[in-house]
A = this chain, B = another copy of it.
Amino acid sequence: MTLDRNATHDASSSASHHMWGGRFGTRPDEALAALNDSLPIDRRLWMQDIRGSKAWVTALHEASVLDPDERTALHEGLDRVGERLAAGGEIDATDEDIHTLVERLLYEEVGDVAGKLHTGRSRNDQVVTDLRLWCLDAIEALDEQVAALGMALVRQGRDGVDMLLPGYTHGQQAQPVRWAYVMAAHAWPLLRDRERLGEIVGRVAVLPLGSGALAGSGVAVDRERLCELLGFRAISQNALDATGDRDFVAEMLFAATLLATHVSRLGGELVTYSSTEYGFVRLSDAFSTGSSLLPQKRNPDVFELARAKASRTLGDLVAMLGTMRGLPAGYSKDLQEDKTLLFDAVDTMLVTLPAVRGAVATMEPVPDRMRSALRDTLLATDVADELVNVGIPFREAHGLTGRLVREAEALGVPLREVPSEHTKQIHEGLPDILEGLGSFEDSVERRRTVGGTSKASVEAQLDALEQFFSN
């Protein structure tokens, strides 16, 4: 058997400290421990766990459950545990989870008083408090990266206000647009991402601590005080709901997935634009990759991976929502899956966003290739519009222009070079219209409605986006 799994658990050296076990005659089987133990995953919540525990100690003290000496001992003990973990201590610990590890180390530091820490608390409210604290940090980190990517797009746009290229629908040339306009089209979705992340905070920053296992804490702690100590915005209103609720994880995963989808769309478009056939952008050497066999390759791996990651985070979202389906209110062990999924999605985006930002910031647009890709047929709508201007209903004008395009194709010439003897037969006004058709710049400037590709509109967009991403 050569699968060489990175053994994540060696139950034989399992720590002897457990948060439970009094009622059982034997220790957990190794096979159970391998499935059940979550320390390799939830270890990274140690900072949140200590922070939450310190606040809990304060609350227990204020509820007269701990005397001042106990409070101080526990606070200092937790700080020392934190220092040990910050220094990478207990990296090979085989405790059941981070809560057990912290409690075990606390016993090492302060002795039996450690046994008072968990008074009136359950891992059910503890873990979800830790995870919500982690999410608040994660939202901040994601938001910062989204803004940075948005700003990189705005900067590319600033340099590309006057670069014209074909705009595409259905992957086909449609109308000429500005390079800045394309960059902005990928920046606006990021604005929605930040908005969404901002809204989620309101539902993430709800304190569950003090919910006990399912029915509320048996100790009359002041939950509003805990809320204040830990920087939450509100407290949960039903302990059964609070301990079994993972809506906030699903919301995080959805926000990450929609963000990843935006990045995938940007990535997909830039893979196309960096092909030899399009050649609209050239990746910097620092963000290109090569081939082991083909010496000439300059691969846009960064954009391909960006394209792929939206499926990865979607998988995480599916796993989370699938896990929640049909569970009763309150905590079920199924919910332990939440952390693996959440960490994977957030990590994925925190690795992907800087790479994409770097690649966008350093790629070079190639205005000559953009310009040379522009075909006369991109002006077909302008022809139709001119026919409208001489009184022809648009639907008819559209049909006439279609015939003109067919004619041009049949003759193998650009639109403007279809001889007037041909165009006249389609509509007598066409020769004049084609004569006065104007440049691609003229066409672009015709789209002056808000949100259009005219220079004024594009510059207004860049200003708005820049301001938005500066905050």
When all copies of this chain in the complex are counted, the total is 4
A268 to B244, CA, bound (A): 14
Report A232-284 residues with CB < 8 Å from chain B CB. 235-245, 247, 250-251, 254, 257-258, 261, 264-265, 267-269, 271-272, 274-278, 284
Chain B positions within 8 Å of A286 at CB level: 26-29, 32
A155 to B291, CA, bound (A): 33
Determine whether the beta carbon of A169 is less than 8 Å from that of B250.
no
Determine whether the beta carbon of B220 is less than 8 Å from that of A20.
no
A101 within 8 A of B: no
Determine whether the beta carbon of B2 is less than 8 Å from that of A137.
yes
A231 within 8 A of B: no
Chain B positions within 8 Å of A380 at CB level: 294-296
Interface size class of A (residues with CB under 8 A): 35 or more
Determine whether the beta carbon of B4 is less than 8 Å from that of A46.
yes
Determine whether the beta carbon of B169 is less than 8 Å from that of A332.
yes
Chain B positions within 8 Å of A116 at CB level: 393-395
Determine whether the beta carbon of A174 is less than 8 Å from that of B118.
no
A330 to B451, CA, bound (A): 13
Please, what's the 1-or-0 string for A396-424, where 1 marks a CB less than 8 Å from any CB in chain B? 10111111111001000001000000000
Chain B positions within 8 Å of A393 at CB level: 112-116, 119
Determine whether the beta carbon of B276 is less than 8 Å from that of A375.
yes
Determine whether the beta carbon of B373 is less than 8 Å from that of A277.
yes
A350 to B124, CA, bound (A): 27
CB distance from A342 to the nearest CB of B (A): 11
Determine whether the beta carbon of A293 is less than 8 Å from that of B124.
yes
A119 to B293, CA, bound (A): 8
Chain B positions within 8 Å of A146 at CB level: none
A189 within 8 A of B: yes
Chain B positions within 8 Å of A112 at CB level: 393, 396
Determine whether the beta carbon of B26 is less than 8 Å from that of A285.
yes
A92 within 8 A of B: no
Determine whether the beta carbon of B46 is less than 8 Å from that of A287.
no
Determine whether the beta carbon of A212 is less than 8 Å from that of B447.
yes
Determine whether the beta carbon of B122 is less than 8 Å from that of A32.
no
A84 within 8 A of B: no
Determine whether the beta carbon of A401 is less than 8 Å from that of B296.
yes
A26, A235, A284, A291: residue with the most chain B Cβ atoms closer than 10 Å: A291
A244 to B29, CA, bound (A): 32
Determine whether the beta carbon of A268 is less than 8 Å from that of B448.
no
Determine whether the beta carbon of B452 is less than 8 Å from that of A239.
yes
Determine whether the beta carbon of B395 is less than 8 Å from that of A114.
yes
A240-B182, A290-B21 given; A305·B36 CB < 8 A: yes
Determine whether the beta carbon of B304 is less than 8 Å from that of A334.
yes
A129 within 8 A of B: no
Q: Which of B218, B292, B403 contacts A118 (CB 8 A)?
A: B292
Chain B positions within 8 Å of A23 at CB level: 290, 295-298, 402-403, 405-406, 409
A371 within 8 A of B: no
A257 to B448, CA, bound (A): 40
Nearest neighbor of A319 in chain B, beta-carbon distance: B315
Determine whether the beta carbon of A453 is less than 8 Å from that of B239.
yes
Q: Which of B6, B28, B293, B336 contacts A121 (CB 8 A)?
A: B293
User: Can you report 26 residue pairs joining A to B where beta carbons are below 8 Å apart?
Assistant: A3-B141, A35-B354, A113-B393, A118-B292, A169-B330, A172-B274, A174-B294, A176-B215, A177-B214, A177-B215, A210-B450, A211-B449, A212-B447, A217-B449, A218-B447, A220-B448, A254-B254, A277-B278, A293-B381, A296-B380, A296-B402, A307-B334, A310-B325, A311-B319, A312-B341, A315-B320
State the 7 A-B residue pairs at the shortest beta-carbon distance, nearest first. A22-B402, A216-B452, A20-B290, A115-B393, A315-B319, A311-B322, A216-B447
Given A35-B305, A236-B451, A289-B333, 14 additional A-B pairs, CB 8 A: A21-B402, A22-B398, A32-B359, A123-B293, A186-B329, A195-B203, A210-B451, A238-B451, A254-B254, A265-B326, A269-B329, A277-B278, A296-B405, A311-B322
